[in-house]
Structures are given as structure tokens and as C-alpha cells.
Amino acid sequence: MTLPKYHLDRARAQSFGSDSEQYDRYRPSPPDALVDDLVALRAVDVLDVGCGTGKVAVALAGRGMRVLGVEVDGRMADVTRAHGVPVEVASFESWDAAGRRFDLITCSDAWHWIDPVVGSEKAAALLRPGGTLALFWSSYLLEASVEAVFQRIYDEHAPKARTHSYEPLQARSEPFEPIAAFGPVETRTYRWDTTVSATEWVGLLATFSDHRALAPENLTALQAALYEAIEDVGGSMAVSRGVHAAFARRL
């Protein structure tokens, strides 16, 4: 399956910082099991690419790693710095590492915004031998009955947006460019069930780029209709959350 070239849509790629506090409030932190697996790599120096508001960077720093973030949006970077992790503002493709090397490079829900060829080659150059590139994407699966109701709401208010109840395409396709510097790719899935309130769900949706691209009045109408639908079933709903990760070791 050929993935859309998201990295070419720079306006959409750099749209998240316009409400960085909402992004920080509603985007989930990585699951403990994923953080445990990253810690088990025994990395000392970590580079978190497209660190956003620091969800992954803060978790790893809290486990004793020396973490540096790279983030294209200064407003997002400010939130990460407020959490105590240093960030340098630049696109990963143009970022100057100034000779620094890393044991682990992470990227959560952002690698599709990076040129896949340049990104893989640069990651390989920045990793010490034996270091790991770890890419991961989040997913949210709804019950079929809820998804059907939501789809009707999207058809009415935002036919070009997705309900975001799906497994990410990136997790089912090769996430790394096939360059010789990396060994075989290992994939892992971390899944857990949770309950999400109407406020949490509509707040989360507003952080996704396809929803941010909607006209404000359309987004408001969509959120109101979804909120009402969730309230009609008790004010919360079951969500199966997942993180789909791919690891490749630098040869």
C-alpha cells in the first residue's frame, strides 16, 4: 500500500502548535510497557524527533535517560521545555546535530511528517553502532455501534475527515526506508482498554491535523454532535487504545 506523502504538506505538518496546551492536555502519554521496552535498550543519549509537547521525552527523562528533543514548532517546544526537557527548534531534515551521536532515536506519531528517505539516512548517521531507531503510532478503536453513529455524524459535518477509529496505515506498512545501515525491523503492539469521556474525545479529535484543517464552524458543529452522541450513551464510551511500534537497530 502506498502511503500519502504527508511530509510534503508543510502547513498541515506545522499546524499543531496553534493550540499546544490542548495537544498536551488530550494526547496520551506512551504506555508503561513501551517505556519499559525503550529503557531496556540501555540507551544513555536519546533524541526524540518531532517531540511535540514532550509526551515521550518526559517519560524517558523520568527514567534516567539524557533526552534531547527536536521539534519544528517553537510553541510545542516551549511546552516540552516547561516539562524540563531541552528542545532545539528545527525540522529534523535540516537540524544540525553539531557532531552529537545518540544511542536511541524515538519518534511518536510524527515520522510521516518527515521525508522518509532523508529521515532514515539521517537517523542512521546520528545513531551510534548498535543504537536503535524506534518509531510508533497511536490508534483508537471504537465499538462498532458507536463507530456507525460517528460515521453518520462525519458524513454530515466533515466528510473529508476520519473518525480516527482505525489501525494506522504506518503500522501495517514498512515504516523505514530499506537502507543497509539498519538490521531487520521488529514490530510490537501495545494495547489497552479504557473509558473516554465526551470532553476527552472531542478534545483529542481537535488535535488531529485533518480536524484542524476543517473550517472552525465545521469543527465546532462536528464536536458538538459527537459530544451529544456520547452524552446520549451515558457521557463516556469504551475505547481500545493501541501503540504500534517498529524498532530497527543500527548495524
- Grid cell for residue 220: 465546532
pLDDT at 1 over 70: no
Separation between Cα atoms, residue 108 and residue 203, nearest integer Å = 19
Tell me if residue 44 falls in helix, strand or coil: coil
Asked if the structure places residue 158 within a domain, the reply is yes
Q: pLDDT digits over 144-170, tens only?
A: 999 999 999 999 999 999 998 877 655
What is the pLDDT, as a whole number, of residue 2? 47
Asked if the structure places residue 210 within a domain, the reply is yes
Q: pLDDT digits over 20-55, tens only?
A: 999 999 999 999 999 999 999 999 999 999 999 999
Separation between Cα atoms, residue 59 and residue 55, nearest integer Å = 7
Backbone phi, psi, residue 11, to 5°? -60, -45
CATH number of the domain that residue 73 is part of: 3.40.50.150
Q: DSSP characters for 100-163?
A: --EEEEEEES-GGGS-HHHHHHHHHHHEEEEEEEEEEEEEEEE-HHHHHHHHHHHHHH-TTS--
Asked if the structure places residue 1 within a domain, the reply is no
Note the pTM of the prediction, 2 decimals.
0.92
Long-range contacts at 152-161 (CB < 8 A, ≥ 24 apart):
153/222, 153/225, 153/226, 153/229, 154/222, 156/225, 157/218, 157/221, 157/222, 157/225, 158/211, 158/214, 158/218, 158/219, 158/222, 160/210, 161/210, 161/211, 161/213, 161/214, 161/222
Q: pLDDT digits over 108-143, tens only?
A: 999 989 998 899 999 999 999 999 999 999 999 999
**What band does 17 get if pLDDT is binned at 50, 70 and 90?**
low
Which helix H or strand E contains 217, and what residues bound it? helix 216-232
pLDDT at 239 over 60: yes
Asked if the structure places residue 220 within a domain, the reply is yes
Asked if the structure places residue 161 within a domain, the reply is yes
pLDDT at 92 over 80: yes
Tell me the CA end-to-end span of the chain in Å, nearest whole number: 27
Count of structural domains within the chain: 1
Q: pLDDT digits over 183-211, tens only?
A: 999 999 999 999 999 999 999 999 998 99
Domain containing 74 equals 6-249
Asked if the structure places residue 242 within a domain, the reply is yes
